[in-house]
Structure formats: C-alpha cells, structure tokens
Structure 1
Amino acid sequence: MKILHIMTTPIGLTGISTYIYNIMDYLDTQKNKIDYVFMNQPLNEIQILLKQNNSNYHIIQNRNRKPFSYAFKLNEVLKKERYDIVHVHGNSHTIAIELMVAKKNRIPVRIAHAHSTSTKYFLLHKLLTLPFNYCTTHRIASSQAAGNWLFSKAPFNVVPIGIKVESFKFQLDWRQVHRKKLDIEENEILIGHVGEFNKNKNQTFLIHLMSKLDENFKLILIGEGNLKDEYQQLVAQLKIEDRVIFYGKSREANQIYSAMDMFIFPSYNEGLGLVIIEAQSSDLTCFASLGVPEEANITDQVEKFSLDENLEMLVDRIQKISVNLPDKRKKNINNNKVEKSNYNAKKSIEALEKKYKIFLEESNY
C-alpha cells in the first residue's frame, strides 16, 4: 500500500502528533510506502526516523491563511505520487480541503480521522459539511464522542490512539530526581496537568482549585500557549506563586508523571484525552471532567467530576482521597491494564493497518 498521512495541525507534542509518531514506529514500512504532509518542520529526531523508514515528507504552510495556495501545493504532491490511501487527521469539516484534492486526483481511499470534539472554526465547519461528506470514503475516530462530533449520523470506525505504555511506567528514581529538581517535599502532594494553555484545556479551573486546596498541595502545568501570561497573572492575583509551577513544554513528561501524586484533567471537551491514559499508565490517582470521553477511563480508576460542580465539593473529594503512594505505584497495576488494552500503541497501529486492507478491498481497488 502507498499511504499519505496529512496533519492539519502543527506536529509537536500533541495527541495527534503522538498518533503520527506511533504510525512511524509501528506501521509496517517493509510492506507499505508511507509519506506525510506537515504544516511545520518536524524535530530532527523525527526527520531521522522518516529517513530510516524511507518516508518522504512535505511541508505545506499557510493552510488556514492561504487555503487556495495550500490546496494547489497539495495537488502538486498528489499528482506526482499516486497514493492508494490519503488519511487526513483533523478536528472539523475543514479537512474537506484535503479530501477534495484527494478526490480530484482519484485517490480510491480517502479517510477522515476525527481527533477532537470541538473546533475554533465552527462557521467554516458548518459550511463545508456537504463537500466533506461527498469527498470522504471512510471515517475513523479516536473515540465515540469524536466520531459523533465530526460524522454526525454517518457510520465510522473507532481506532484508539495508543501510547508506548512502558515509557510511562512509574520509576522511583525518576520521582526522586524530578521532585528534587522541582523542590517538592515527600509529604507534599503534587497535582499534574499536561496540555496547551488554551480555553478548552481549562487551566484556570486548576488554578482556582489550587487556591482552595490545603497548603501541602502544589500544581505543575506542563505546556505552553497564548494564555500563559494570563494564567501567570491569575496565579499572582491569588497569591499562590509558590505553589504553581509553570514547567513549559517537555520531552521528559513521561518521567515527570512519576514525580506527580495526582493528575487532574478539567477540559471542556476532548476527542479522547491521551494524557489521562498516560497518567493512568504511571499509576497516578486521576480526576477528569465529564468532557473527557469514558473510553479514556481504561483502568476504572478515574474519578469523574462536573465542571458545574461546586468547587468546594471537589476540593473536599480531592483532599479526602488516598493518593497512590510510591510503594503501591511500583506494583504497576494500572500500567499492566493499559498494556493489555487497545490503547497500547503497537496494538492500535496493527488495528489501523487491518482497517486499511479492508478499506482498499471495499473500494474495489
């Protein structure tokens, strides 16, 4: 098979990016030719992996600002390379752009892949519904909620986004190293969050929550984003600067989970919420909003809460719950559950490859 993956969001440290990295690691490159279209330059280590896989990649920028120019450049790629499958990863019906270009070039399998349950471009999302449906041949979603959002009543296949479970396993030495670096005492409870600083991820909720929790609770926010300055100002206003750590982006997030004691994920909406699965893999005590799909609760150990819930009630729940202490986390009970689930990266990509074969058969190609 000759397959082109198209990312409609920047490649970096995101859930969609994780799925693309899993494809690079686990999709059989001996039997398949796999190429990519990115909006931005991937990291050097990713470029090396692409070269090892004999994968071509194309950087096509300005998708949002200059869509006609973007479509023209994408058309040039598809004219030159005759793909069996074009697989478009995105969050809204704006991926009709890529699907229309693929249909024009008579690509037999044109996959729309739903990764989220919301979009910043709702009007365009609505306007492009008809061409989106007309040009899509097959539909994949990271969760039932993501599929319902993007495909409405059309049938779709749920293919979970997996993680490299072993890399998130609790390690006592990681805990000691990173807690020392962060100046966290062993009797202090470190709450963690990983995500871009934006309205949907709802870090303001965590900051207000911190102002209500006892002094022995601290918060680490791993990520960057346009709202970082606003959040730092809020922390200063609430006078909790000594209890909130703005860590920035990190390639060591898998290690920092071991330093945490609790993970709280208060998003308004999530297509899946990969980081809550990572947190479970580190055997963390976890809380997630109702906006996080139930599929993400792989271990049945995630406490759910409503964002409309009285904050004092949630504070009481958090302060009463027993966190998983290192001695318990070393048993890797939840890590083993994730390892055996469909959210194991290797199993996830094997399932995707099976779908490709079925889709090609259905297209009579």
Structure 2
Amino acid sequence: MSEPIRILHVLTAMNLAGTETLLMNLYRNIDRSKIQFDFAVTTNKKCAYDDEIESLGGKIIHYPLYRGVNHLSYVSWWNKFFQEHEEYHIIHGHIGSTAAIYLHVAKKYGRYTIAHSHSTYGPLNLHTVLYKTFSYPTRYIADYFLGCSRDALVERYGKQILRKDNVRVLNNGIDAKKYVFTEEKRMMIRDELQLSPDDVIIGTVGRLTPQKNPFFIIQIIKELNRRNVKFKFLWVGTGELKEKVTSNLKKEIANHQVIMAGTRNDINDVLQAMDIFVFPSVFEGLGIAAVEAQAAGLCTLCSDTIPREVKVTATCEFLPIRDVSTWCDRIEQIIQSREYLNRINRYAEIVTADYDIHKTVEWLSDFYQSHF
C-alpha cells in the first residue's frame, strides 16, 4: 500500500480559532489513507488540537517566529527544512504576513504552493500597513490562491485575482449534521450552565479581540437592560481583551446575567442553548461562527461590514455596525414576537449553500491529488 500524500499546513498555532477549526474539520473527514496533514507552527506551547492531530497520524513541526531582525535565520530555517523533508510536495500557507518568504523558498525546491486568505485587513493602522506590505508579493509567488470569501481574496491579492484561473473561494465547511437543533442538547447545555428552560439566551462565539467588537456587545447588553428586556447573555471565547471585558461587565452588569463560558470544543452543542446570536465583528474574512449559528437554527444578527456570503439561510440579517439602538430594536422585536422559538432543521439549506464539510473535503481531496 502506497504512503499517503503529506500536506504541510503553515500556521501560528493549532488552537480553537476559525482557521484552525476549519482545518481540523477537514482533517477529521478526509481519507487519511490517501492524504495526511502535518502542521508547522511558531508556538512551542501545547495547543488545543495537538493531541488529536497526533492521534490522527499528523505531525507538529515548530518553525521560528518571524521578527524582521531574524530574516536571514528565518529564511535559512526554511531552506534547511525543505532540503531535509522531500515528503512535502504541497505547502498550504495560512499565515499571510510571511507567506511571500516561506512559499518562495518552497518553490525554489520545486514544491507546489497554496496561499490561503482567511480574513480581510480591517481598519487601517500601522499593523495593517505592515501586514499589507509584507504579504503583497505573495500574489506573484503562490501557484494557487484560496480564500474563504471574495472579499478575503481581493483584499489580500488584489482585484485582478478573481480573473485568474488559479483561484477559488473555498467555503469554510462545517459538519452540518452536528448542528441540527434538538431539544435534548438544548436542555443538556442549559443544565450544565445553570440556565432555566424559560430564559431568553442571547449569545456570541468569538475571540475577545478588537476585531470581534466585544465592547459593542456590552453596549447592547446595557441598552437592553435600560429597556427592561429580560434575557441572559452566553459569551463563548477568550482572548487578549478578556480582563478588560470582564472588568467592564463587573462594573456595569449583574454577575448572574452574563455567562463567560471561555473556550469550548462543543460549539455545535452550545449553540443549541442560545435563542439569538449576535455577531457584530468590525471585519471578517467570512465569519464561520455565523454560519454555525444558522446551522443551529438561530436568529443570527451580523454587522454590515462582513461578507454577504455568510448569509446562507433566511435567519441571517445584517445590521449597521455603529448603531446599538438598531440592534436592540431588532432583538426586542425577536423576543416580543417569540420568533426565536422557530428552530427548524436547517441542514438542507447548509448543504445547498455548499457549506457542508463533506463537499469541501471532496473538492480539496481531488485538488491535492491532482497536484501531487
């Protein structure tokens, strides 16, 4: 029996985040007798998915973090790596800032290179300018370009990219069957989190970072309280703003009203416990959490700054990013009309929209094998 094709995915760390979760969904469902994933990461810390990766036959490789001043040693590391590891014919790059470096080195050794954009740039600041500057050459280096949306492709590689043949929007597929709403799962999570069956639960899933707009969410909570709307808020995720967010919540909002659930590896189940999902991101490459929320049958309210491809069912709406009052008006309307109770099976809609992981895996498997 021949050895499987080994694909090297280049990232920062395999923790619980959008890109990493997509890769794990792909990895779990791909035929690993034909295709194996290995992961190159910069962190030396153990990550959330490391044990599962190794249990599935994958390897975790540690490469140096690029700091600018270590440019020569960084390039030297990749040269040595590709000299010593001929088993990697396909290099799938998910780190855009240094893709122009490591993909360029990979091509020098005859490897097939993929640049994958998972996000847009967001607000213009020094970090964004530097990121754009470093990532710009990638459009002239990679053999193939993937993006989670048209916006993610255009912002990273320019408008001309959509006219080329070596490009595709690869939908961030989910295992849609696992998100189908059931009352049993709903009550199981509510019992765990000590939530009443009758509580109206508004929720979100996302890292506590400026991109996800957590302080806008706090404004929503405060305004709904001012209006005497009865609800609780379930917040899933952690990140750099955790201390500031929790401190703000303690000052302004009753302890029992907001449940900070931290990171969870059972998002498909946790979504069952919610009634309304809010997703006011400042920017997104796509916003897979909103697709997951729709798969769970939730009323899903998204900011008007994220790609429209995220709307895959009739339950998704876009609201102005800076208007707290409009968000609260809509939430109040949903609660008063009790439309949040209309949790029907959305599986067929997710599949029709090509967001089921099995379709994504089918295409990607064929793609890898055709370029080996």
- TM tier, shorter chain? 0.7 to 0.9
Distance in structure 1 (CA, Å) of the matches to 2:202 and 2:10: 32
Could you tell me how far 1:357 is from its partner in structure 2?
Answer: 4.8
Match of 1:352, as an amino acid?
L
Deviation at 1:314, TM superposition (A): 2.2
Alignment of 1:1-365 (within 5 A): 2-40=5-43, 41-42=46-47, 43-51=49-57, 55-64=58-67, 66=70, 68-82=72-86, 83-90=88-95, 92-107=96-111, 109-118=112-121, 121-129=127-135, 131-152=137-158, 153-154=160-161, 155=164, 156-213=167-224, 214-309=228-323, 311-321=324-334, 322-325=337-340, 328-329=342-343, 331-332=344-345, 334-357=346-369, 360=371
Give yes or no for contact 1:284–1:323 (8 Å, CA) kept in 2. Answer: no
Is residue 53–residue 59 contact of structure 2 (8 Å, CA) maintained in 1?
no
Offset at 1:280?
0.8
Unaligned runs of 5+ in 2: none
Q: Secondary structure at the match of 1:242?
A: coil
| CA–CA separation in structure 1 for the residues paired with 2:199 and 2:314 | 26
CA contact (8 A) 1:100 1:131 kept: no
Is the contact between residue 211 and residue 240 of structure 1 (CA under 8 Å) also seen in structure 2? no
Query: For 1:269, what is the secondary structure of its paired residue?
Result: coil
Whole-angstrom distance in 1 between the partners of 2:36 and 2:174: 23
Shift of 1:94: 2.8
Between the aligned partners of 2:292 and 2:356, the Cα distance in structure 1 is: 11
User: Which sections of structure 1, spanning at least 5 residues, go unmatched?
Assistant: none
Q: TM-score, length-normalised on structure 2?
A: 0.86
Tell me how far apart the structure 2 counterparts of residues 77 and 100 of structure 1 sit (CA, whole Å).
13
Greater mean deviation of Cα atoms: 190-199 or 208-217:
208-217
Q: Is the 8 A contact 2:9 2:37 kept in 1?
A: no
The one-letter code sitting in structure 2 at the alignment partner of 1:319 is E
Letter in 2 for 1:13: L
Q: Distance in 2 between matches of 1:195 and 1:64?
A: 27
Query: Alpha carbon RMSD of aligned pairs, Å?
Result: 2.4
Question: Which residue identity is paired with 2:362?
Answer: E
Separation in structure 1 between the aligned mates of residue 237 and residue 136 of structure 2, nearest angstrom: 36
Q: SS in structure 2 opposite 1:5?
A: strand
Alpha-carbon distance in structure 2 between the residues aligned to 1:68 and 1:13: 31
Letter in 2 for 1:281: A
Identity in percent: 27
What do residues 295-315 of structure 1 show as CA deviations (whole Å, max 9, x unaligned)?
111113201101133x22321
C-alpha distance in structure 2 between counterparts of 1:122 and 1:191, whole Å: 32
Give the superposition deviation at 1:93: 4.2
Q: 1:354 to 1:313 in 2, by over 3 A?
A: same
Compared CA separation, residues 49 and 292, structure 1 to 2 (3 A): farther
Tell me the alpha carbon deviations over residues 58-104 of structure 1, each in whole angstroms, 9 at most, x when there is no partner. Answer: 122434575544443333332122233211013x3432122122122
User: In 1, distance between residues paired with 2:293 and 2:34?
Assistant: 34
Of residues 166-175 and 21-30 in structure 1, the stretch that sits farther from structure 2 once superposed is 21-30
Determine if contact 1:285/1:323 at 8 Å carries over to the other structure: no
Looking at structure 1, the residues matched to 97 and 203 of structure 2 have their Cα atoms a distance apart, in angstroms, of 33
| SS of alignment partner, residue 241 of structure 1 | coil
Summarize deviations over 1:320-360 as a string: whole Å, max 9, x none.
1245555x42x41x2331134311111112112333355x3
The residue identity in structure 2 corresponding to 1:100 is H
> Could you tell me how far apart the structure 2 residues matched to 1:128 and 1:181 are?
46
Whether contact under 8 Å (2:92, 2:113) holds in the other structure is yes
